[in-house]
Amino acid sequence: MNYSAIKNYDIASGPGVRVSLYVSGCRRRCKGCFNPETWDFGYGHLFDETVEYEIMEALAPSYIKGFSLLGGEPFEPENAQELAGFLEKVKTKFPDKQIWCYTGYDFETDLMAKCQSDGECITNKSKADYYRAKMLDNIDVLVDGEFVEADKIIDLRFRGSVNQRIIDIKASMESGKVVLWQDLYD
């Protein structure tokens, strides 16, 4: 897997100061995408153990509130396979830091449809479904939906277009329906 950038002090991709990873590779190709260079799976740099270590070190300070994963598209099968294990490492080492993920996929149709109503993900459908389910196990908040240029509002908080939702993954998986994230500071 390749990545295009790491931001050690991101304040736009979730609450507080965060570390953000922008992965490469996206087949969705949303019109007006702010990161079209990341559509190419070969763009950027190789994501390896050294990069994992650098991200873990960047997450260590107490003022860092969490980790955000953007793209490209993190849930592309090629990326999900690599990210599933990495997100588990992040959540294990930093259980109090929220993991946010941005995706063009629809949570109910593309991701939650692979999970049962009791929240247990079906892991025998395909390798891609397995890794996506493993990612969801470690993601706290998901910003879902394709960016729609016609629905763009420049001052939306933590998203680009009004069709995109900010979803509390744990509450959604427990209830079997979408539960929107509630910002305690709004």
- Quick: pLDDT tens for 61-90: 999 999 999 999 999 999 999 999 999 999
CA trace torsion 146, 148, 154, 158 (10° rounding): -10
Is the pLDDT score of 54 beyond 60?
Answer: yes
Q: So what's the pLDDT on residue 119?
A: 44
What percent of the chain clears pLDDT 90, i.e. is strictly above it?
Answer: 61
Q: What Å distances lie between residue 92 and 10, 56, 85, 160, CA to CA?
A: 22, 11, 11, 30
| Six-digit token string for 142 | 């998901």
Is the pLDDT score of 185 beyond 70?
Answer: no
Predicted model pTM: 0.89
Q: How do residues 118-144 score in pLDDT, each as one tens digit?
A: 445 554 567 878 899 899 999 999 999
Is residue 89 a contact partner of residue 56, using CB atoms and an 8 Å limit?
Answer: yes
- Look at the block and give the residue holding tokens 């090629």: 78
Is residue 56 a contact partner of residue 103, using CB atoms and an 8 Å limit?
Answer: no
